[in-house]
Structure 1
Amino acid sequence: MAQQPQTQAVRPKTAYTKGDMVLFRDAERFWLGLPGHTFVGRVERSWRHAHTGKVLYDLVELSGNRHRAGIDPDYMRLLPPADAMRDIDAAPLSEPDPGAMTPAAVAWLRQHLAQDAAALPVLR
C-alpha cells in the first residue's frame, strides 16, 4: 500500500504595517484550552529581535485597548478591509424594508445621505 504524502498548512508570508487590523492567537493559551486566546488587534510597530533576528510586532488589542509586545507573526492573520466592509457593499439597497439591511450598511447610508442630501435625484 502506497503511503499518502502528508499535507501541511501553508503559512502566509505577510509583512504587516502600522495600522493593519489583524487576528492574533496566543498559542500557549489556545493549547492549554484557556479562554481569551484569540483577539483582534491593530499593528502599532514592528521590530527585529536582537538574538533571533525575527521580525516581531507590537499590537493594541481592540477589545480592551491593551498593548501586547513581541507578537510572533506566525500567529497573526491580516483582516482585509474588504471583509469588514462586505455587509455594506452587499446591502440590499432596493429592499423595501430597511431592517433587512445590516446595521453597518444603514449607518453608512444615513451618514452619506445626511452629508449629500442635495445631490440625491428627485423621486418620481
Structure 2
Amino acid sequence: MPQQLQGKATRPQTTYTQGDFVLYRDARRFWLGQPGHTFVGRVERVWRHAETGKVFYDLVELSTNRLVGEVDPDYMRLLPPADAMADVDTAPLAEADAGAMSPAAVAWLHQHLVQDSSKLPAQRD
C-alpha cells in the first residue's frame, strides 16, 4: 500500500538583492530533459510585474555572461558565501602537505601572502 506524504513541501521565502549569487533551474528545460537547465547566476536586477505585482529577477549566467530575464524566484536558491568559502575556511594549514588543501584554499593563501608580503618586518640575523 503506497504511503501518503504527511507534510506539504515548503519552499523558502527568500528575497534576493542585486549582486547575490544564486542557483537557477529553468523548469521548462528541466522537465523536457534538455541540457543546460540549471546554472549559477548573479542577480542583475529586481523588479515587480506591473499587473500581477509578483517580484521577478534578471540574472547573468556566470559561465556565459548571458542575461536571463524574467526569472521566477520559485526556481532560484541563494548560494551563501559561507558555502563557497568553506574549503578556504577549513583548510588544514597545519598540514605539512599542501596537497591536502583544496585548490581554492591554496589560491587564497597564495594571494594573501603576495599582498601582505610587503608588510612583513625585515628578517633579523
Q: Do both share a fold (TM > 0.5)?
A: yes
- Give the AA of the match of 2:56: L
Residue number in structure 2 paired with 1:12:
12
CA distance in structure 1 between the aligned counterparts of 2:15 and 2:75, rounded to whole angstroms: 13
Q: Distance in 1 between matches of 2:9 and 2:21?
A: 22
Say whether 1:52 aligns with 2:52: yes
> What is the Cα deviation at residue 4 of structure 1?
5.3
* Pairing of 1:37-48 with structure 2 (within 5 A): 37-48=37-48
- Residues matched between the structures, number: 120
Once the two structures are superposed, residues 43-77 of structure 1 have per-residue CA deviations (whole angstroms, 9 ceiling, x without a partner) of 01111112211000000000110000100000000
Structure 2 unaligned spans of 5+: none
Provide the C-alpha distance between the structure 2 equivalents of 1:50 and 1:41, rounded to a whole number of angstroms. Answer: 24
Q: Which amino acid aligns with 1:78?
A: L
Name the counterpart of 2:120: 119
Which amino acid is 1:43 matched to? V
Q: Residue 68 of structure 1 corresponds to which residue in structure 2? A: 68
Report the residue type matching 1:36 in the other structure.
Answer: G
Unpaired segments of 5 or more residues in structure 1? none
Change (3 A) 1:66 1:5: closer
Q: CA deviation at 1:84?
A: 0.1
The percent of aligned pairs where both chains have the same amino acid is 71
TM-score, normalised to structure 2, is 0.88
- Provide Cα deviations, 1:26-57, integer angstroms capped at 9, x if missing partner: 00111111111100000011111122110000
Give 1:100's aligned residue.
100
Report the Cα distance in structure 2 between the residues aligned to 1:86 and 1:41, rounded to whole angstroms: 19
For the residues of structure 2 that align with 1:115 and 1:62, how far apart are their CA atoms? 27
State the one-letter code of the partner of 2:44: E
TM-superposed CA distance for 1:5, in Å, is 5.6
TM-score, scaled to structure 1: 0.89
**Shift in CA distance, 64/6, structure 1 to aligned 2, threshold 3 Å:** same
